[in-house]
Amino acid sequence: MDGCDPKSAVHAFTSIEIRIGLDTGGTYTDAVALDGRGHVVATAKALTTHWDLAIGLGDAIRAVLAGLPRGVGREDISLVSVSTTLATTLWSRPL
């Protein structure tokens, strides 16, 4: 045993804020969760649903939340940022 109390380690981790970033692309919607120091703690990918972007975003959000470390929950999220490359992808295709 290394002398680390698992309960205090989880408690210390949960005091760190979690930030979620989402990017809706042409094929996939990606999600990443970062701790307060900018370390990746969870990632997820869902299909982009062009007819209703909220579906793909919701799927990606649920998946990244499910991937958060034990003891970390929605109440620890301090920021959610959404971006898209859909317009760039459309603009870069030949007519």
Q: Where are the domains of the chain?
A: 16-92
- Tens digits of residue pLDDT in 81-91: 999 887 765 55
Homologous superfamily of the 16-92 domain (CATH) = ATPase, nucleotide binding domain (3.30.420.40)
pLDDT tier for residue 10 given thresholds of 50, 70 and 90: very low
The pTM (predicted TM-score) of the whole model is 0.75
- Tens digits of residue pLDDT in 55-81: 999 999 999 999 999 999 899 999 999
Distances (CA, A) of 79 to 2, 21, 38, 76: 34, 8, 13, 9
CA distance 25 to 69: 26
